[in-house]
Amino acid sequence: MTDSIVVNTAVLMPVFALITWSLIIFIRMYAMRMPAMAKAGIDPQSVKHPTSLGGILPSKVEASSDNYNHLMEQPTIFYALCFYLALAGHADALQVQFAWGYVGFRVLHSLVQVTGNNVMARFSLFTLSTAALIAMVVFEIMQLMN
């Protein structure tokens, strides 16, 4: 008897969307940061440790860099979870909705951070995205227990 794996790829579309968004933020970061460093007369080699730029470049320039870093942190858990759900065949419609919710909140978080950077709005969106991620995990635990 052959074991078969049923893969539900619908949960992978939000993964692709967030990867694409992360690359858009990277392009924005690069397009803003390099000219700002040149204008400030900063030799790229002199800032081999990113914290050494603190306070030198305008906040709106650094916001894209900060947001890109944020998109490399918690979303790694999201990516792993989505691939797990797809491979386990547990990516039902509810999980896909939570995944899209997570992506939507992360995109809104980015937009807040790279524009006005209102900390409380940003924190609220981060909390909502985290709640969507937690919901995905809780629903998977419930499915495993049944």
Local confidence band at 53 (pLDDT 50, 70, 90 cut-offs): low
What's the pLDDT tens digit per position in 72-106? Answer: 999 999 999 999 999 999 999 999 999 999 999 99
Report the candidate in 137, 105, 135 with the shortest Cα–Cα distance to residue 122: 105
Domains, the chain, ordered by start = 9-145 (1.20.120.550)
Give me the helix-helix angle, 59-70 and 12-39, nearest 10°: 150
> pTM of the predicted model, to two decimals?
0.88
Calculated CA dihedral for residues 77, 71, 23, 125, nearest 10 degrees: 110
What's the pLDDT tens digit per position in 4-43? Answer: 555 678 999 999 999 999 999 999 999 998 898 889 888 8
